Amino acid sequence: MYFLYTIIASLAVFFILKWLKKRRYCTDLRRLDGKTILITGGNSGIGKETAIALAMRGARVIIACRDSDKAEKAVREIKLKSHSLNVLYMELDLANLSSVRDFCKSFLQREKKLDILVNNAGMPGVLEWTDNNFSMCFGVNHLGHFLLTNLLLPRLKECAPSRVITLTCSSYKYQKLDFQDLNYNQLPFFTYCRSKLANIYFSQEVARITEGKGVTSYAVHPGKRSFVQSGWTCHYSILFRMLVQVIMWMFFVPCEIGAQTVIYCAVSDEAAKHSGGYFIDCRPATLRPFARDAAVAKKLWEASERLVNLA
């Protein structure tokens, strides 16, 4: 009898893992020759896999990274794997608003085109502060990208039809924004959830203000039912990393799969019909009603303008 139970339990575990890790690829094979794509944090994880896939399709890919050693190494790997020499990196630290401004200045001087902006870089839940005294998650994940996108928006409009893709997370649903304390920095996971909810409102507002101007905007959760085996654990202790490594190996999908919905939003005509939408697993997904509140999105946009001194 025990033998039978063991077999049933093993089969159940097998099918649950198979369901969790089911892979879905972007089946739109459109090429991106002549397009310029900027990916923040493209030196690791999902960003690096996105860079490889888009460079393979012929795009000029620029990864914007804070660490030059990591970035140079990633550029070599992206070139090698994509068989493209049209890959480069530029320095950008999203935790420092002066760095974001400097980056945009030199980007706009050097690059005449920007067809797709991928707001990928992200910090997991950590209780740290940026150089401008914002909580790390809110500052990097939301405010840094908010300023970056605003400063690059004129170039995106010039290059219309163009796209803004912002990486969010399905864990947005566990928190709501508190406008009295946008910098909430108390529980690491919740500070992350709030920054990812801010990414969703941000993406919706980009779609609203650029409507009819040829720019479309997408918020992407890169996993599916599960999460992605990326480098985010490097911000935690060795013990935590070892524990999570086992869970990641068992339940999470590889970065190559995590990048598929980003690639889909970069190339698909179908996606373009859903500007302002939320995407999982290469298709539009439904948000909780509170995350679709246009008034909150507008309020966050205006608050963010004040916080980054965007006149």
Ligand X SMILES: NC(=O)c1ccc[n+]([C@@H]2O[C@H](COP(=O)([O-])OP(=O)(O)OC[C@H]3O[C@@H](n4cnc5c(N)ncnc54)[C@H](OP(=O)(O)O)[C@@H]3O)[C@@H](O)[C@H]2O)c1
Is 277 a residue that touches ligand X (CB under 6 A)? no
Q: In what order do the strands lie in the sheet with 162-167?
A: 87-91, 60-65, 36-40, 116-119, 162-167, 215-221, 277-280, 283-285
Length of the chain: 311
User: In the set 32, 38, 41, 60, which binds ligand X (CB under 6 A)?
Assistant: 41
CB of 122 or CB of 276, closer to ligand X: 122
Phi-psi bin for 262: left (phi > 0), alpha (psi -120 to 50), beta? Answer: alpha
Q: What is the contact mask toward ligand X in residues 151 to 190, using x (rule: CB under 6 A)?
A: ----------------x-x---------------------
**Stretch of residues binding ligand X (CB under 6 A), selected from 16-24, 29-37, 66-74, 108-116:** 66-74
Respond yes or no: is residue 192 known to be catalytic: yes
Is 73 a residue that touches ligand X (CB under 6 A)? no
User: In the set 121, 197, 215, 219, which binds ligand X (CB under 6 A)?
Assistant: 121
Helix (H) or strand (E) holding 117: strand 116-119
CA distances from 166 to 22, 118, 147, 174 (A): 23, 6, 13, 19
CA distances from 179 to 92, 182, 198, 289, 301 (A): 28, 5, 11, 18, 12
Amino acid 301 reads: W
User: In the set 57, 194, 221, 274, which binds ligand X (CB under 6 A)?
Assistant: 221
Is 123 a residue that touches ligand X (CB under 6 A)? yes
DSSP assigned state of 66: S
Cα 182 from Cα 166, distance rounded (Å): 19
Is 254 a residue that touches ligand X (CB under 6 A)? no
Is 50 a residue that touches ligand X (CB under 6 A)? no
CB of 117 or CB of 159, closer to ligand X: 117
User: In the set 37, 75, 92, 143, which binds ligand X (CB under 6 A)?
Assistant: 92
Which own/partner contact pairs does 236-241 have at CB distance under 8 Å and 24+ positions apart? 236/124
Is 143 a residue that touches ligand X (CB under 6 A)? no
- The one catalytic residue in 172, 184, 192, 278 is 192
Is 145 a residue that touches ligand X (CB under 6 A)? no
Binding site for ligand X (CB under 6 A): 40-41, 43-47, 65-67, 70, 92-95, 120-123, 140, 167, 169, 221-223, 227-228, 230-232
